[in-house]
Amino acid sequence: MLLLITIWRVADARTFEASPDGVPYSIASALAEAGAGDTVVLADGTYNEAIVTVQGGESGNPLIISGGRGALVNAGDDGKVVNVQHSWVTLEGFSVDGKISDDDEADSYVDKCVFVEGPSTSGEERLEGFVMQDVSVQNCGDECVRLKSFVVGAVISDNVIQDCGVRDFVYGGGGKNGEGVYVGTSSNQWSDGPDECNDNTITGNTITPNGNECVDVKEGSTGTIIEDNTCSGQLDEDSGCFGSRGDGNVFRYNTASDCLGVGVRIGGWEADGHEYGQDNSIYGNSFTRAESGGLSFFALPQGKVCGNSCQDGPCDMLGGLGDEGLESTWDQPCDDSDLSR
């Protein structure tokens, strides 16, 4: 019976061909019909309409939105170019540009280029199964990619992400928004307690924010693996190439260069009586020209911290916590064979 159901679902999958002129489908009309197991294919050209999901897919049968690099989505809807509000959605291959006007001003840029938001701020419902792979994202007013409101088990892989935080870092907006990938929600924005965007994977991406962190995990979010990413162009000396104010996240085998902050910044935030930023593991990373130091810790205890390299910068461990164990191991070889992956 299970085999028959699987065969029926594959046979029933549909493909919707979208084009900039809306023939046979626009993005909106394709998404109005497409569901689990279906694929919306974006032909090359510039789309003056945003991607806003109407329904999602199912486990094993995602809704896929795909295209080549020549398919450029370049429009805003409520401040976003891509707005995913449903589970089991996959984005593949196309380009996203958040500069929606030729005017040289901050308002020419959308807030978020790719915004993935779950249906509940309390965790009663979660958004599952989001995948974003081989997508080009650029020119975003605030963060380039955002996971918010209990997005769990997402995979963000092999994308090119650049020029985030244009409003603050180019036009002097006064803040420090501009993350390449932002996971969760800062506690000063919680409405129903911690935003547990847990167990996500961010891997193999090339991220040049020319803004703030390449990847930033906020307090309340745990279990995210950040690995094999190439990061450069982080411009906030008080932050890092990568950062975690969450507990129990892993930063491994990343390469970072030309950051004004440290290589990885951990902790430094208390909410509801809990000091966030504990039990993170940081190993096998390489930092070059991290102008403020190798690592900084503002919370203890931590997980595995070893096997990191640093060159052409101060290469210190900062934070003032006086943990001699971390100071002696952070740039020394790991002795655990199970850290190979």
Among 119-123, 157-161, 274-278, 325-329, where is mean pLDDT lowest?
Answer: 325-329
Closest CA to 215 of 270, 164, 284, 268: 164
3-state class percentages of the chain: helix first, strand second, coil last, to nearest 5: 10, 40, 50
Positive/negative CA dihedral, 217, 221, 223, 224: negative
Question: Which sequence spans correspond to the domains of the chain?
Answer: 1-71+84-94, 98-340
Rounded CA Rg of the chain:
20
Share of residues in the chain with pLDDT > 90 (%): 85
pLDDT at 339 over 70: no
The predicted model gives 298-324 an average pLDDT of 86
User: What is the spatial distance between Cα 99 and Cα 124, in angstroms, rounded to a whole number?
Assistant: 35
Instruction: Give me the pLDDT at residue 3, please.
Output: 47
State the pLDDT confidence band at 329, using cuts at 50, 70 and 90: confident
DSSP for residue 123? S
The predicted model gives 154-177 an average pLDDT of 98
Q: How far is CA 19 from CA 14, 33, 47, 175, in A?
A: 16, 15, 8, 38
* CATH classification (class only), 98-340: mainly beta
CB atoms within 10 A of CB 157: 18
| Residue 324 falls in which region: left (phi positive, over 0), alpha (psi -120 to 50) or beta | alpha
